[in-house]
A and B are shown apart, each in its own frame.
Chain A
Amino acid sequence: GAVVSQHPSWVICKSGTSVKIECRSLDFQATTMFWYRQFPKQSLMLMATSNEGSKATYEQGVEKDKFLINHASLTLSTLTVTSAHPEDSSFYICSAGGTDTQYFGPGTRLTVL
């Protein structure tokens, strides 16, 4: 099946720094990618829809200035957590795909000290 990769898989950073997470579709082109966040014991929360060549669409309650999304090409979307704080520590997952399925990346665990 289609493969979506994420980099890095785990990142630890100091409070106040910015962290960039990459999401790549390895064997298909994705005009749309999605970014999710998962808290312990909770479901996946859709943060935003990343559209190639245009601005991302953010879900209600998600700060677009804090979570910057750039979909620069048909195979790459990036999520930058700006001025990270400990409460941003979470598991971030991206996905891409077609109508009847979505392929998820392996996730990135962010720990903000």
Chain B
Amino acid sequence: DQQVKQNSPSLSVQEGRISILNCDYTNSMFDYFLWYKKYPAEGPTFLISISSIKDKNEDGRFTVFLNKSAKHLSLHIVPSQPGDSAVYFCAAYFSGTYKYIFGTGTRLKVLA
């Protein structure tokens, strides 16, 4: 049972345009949602998180939106840069369990 889903395995975007990465989840008990960026042969790097009590969190070019009724979150990158090309994972977290459940990742390619 995949509790966190990223239905788009890949995405290509022109440099300077907006990248939108989507993530759906099934369990309404999740407290936090996080996005990670991963380059090949490296560990994931934390990007941005959002608490379940918020619907938006912004950090520079990265904004995460949370729609609890739809059990959906998205990561917006504006403007996209070639260095943003990587695999992006969303993750969901239960307070008290320290258990992070990851989506399958979306490979973003930003074209120069």
Residue of B nearest to A6 (CB): B43
**Contact A106/B89 with A34-B100, A100-B34 known, Cβ cut-off 8 Å:** no
Contact partner of B46 (CB less than 8 A), chosen from A42, A44, A101, is: A101
Which applies to chain B's interface (DSSP): helix, strand, loop or mixed? strand
User: Beyond A6-B43, A100-B49, A101-B34: 14 further Cβ-contacts under 8 Å?
Assistant: A4-B43, A34-B100, A44-B89, A46-B102, A49-B99, A93-B44, A100-B34, A102-B91, A104-B45, A105-B43, A106-B42, A106-B43, A107-B41, A107-B43
Query: How many B residues touch A, CB cutoff 8 Å?
Result: 23
Contact partner of B100 (CB less than 8 A), chosen from A6, A102, A107, is: A102
Query: Considering the chains assembled together, what is the distance between the CA atoms of A109 and B46 in angstroms?
Result: 20
* Leading 3 A-B pairs by shortest Cβ distance: A104-B43, A43-B104, A107-B43
Q: Mark A78-113, 1 if CB is under 8 A from B, else 0.
A: 000000000000010101000111111111010000
Query: How many A residues touch B, CB cutoff 8 Å?
Result: 23
Task: Answer whether residue A61 sits at the interface, using C-beta atoms and an 8 A cutoff.
Answer: no
Query: Considering the chains assembled together, what is the distance between the CA atoms of A102 and B41 in angstroms?
Result: 18
Q: Mark B74-112, 1 if CB is under 8 A from A, else 0.
A: 000000000000000101010100111111110000000
CB neighbours of A103 from chain B (8 A): 46
User: How near does chain B come to A106, taking the closest CB pair, in angstroms?
Assistant: 5
Residues of A within 8 A of B (CB): 1, 4, 6, 32, 34, 42-44, 46, 49, 91, 93, 95, 99-107, 109
Most chain A Cβ neighbours within 10 Å, of B44, B89, B91: B44
Task: Answer whether residue B36 sits at the interface, using C-beta atoms and an 8 A cutoff.
Answer: yes
B residues 24-82 with Cβ under 8 Å of A? 32, 34, 36, 41-46, 49, 51
Query: Considering the chains assembled together, what is the distance between the CA atoms of A29 and B99 in angstroms?
Result: 18
Query: Considering the chains assembled together, what is the distance between the CA atoms of A43 and B101 in angstroms?
Result: 10
Residue of A nearest to B2 (CB): A43
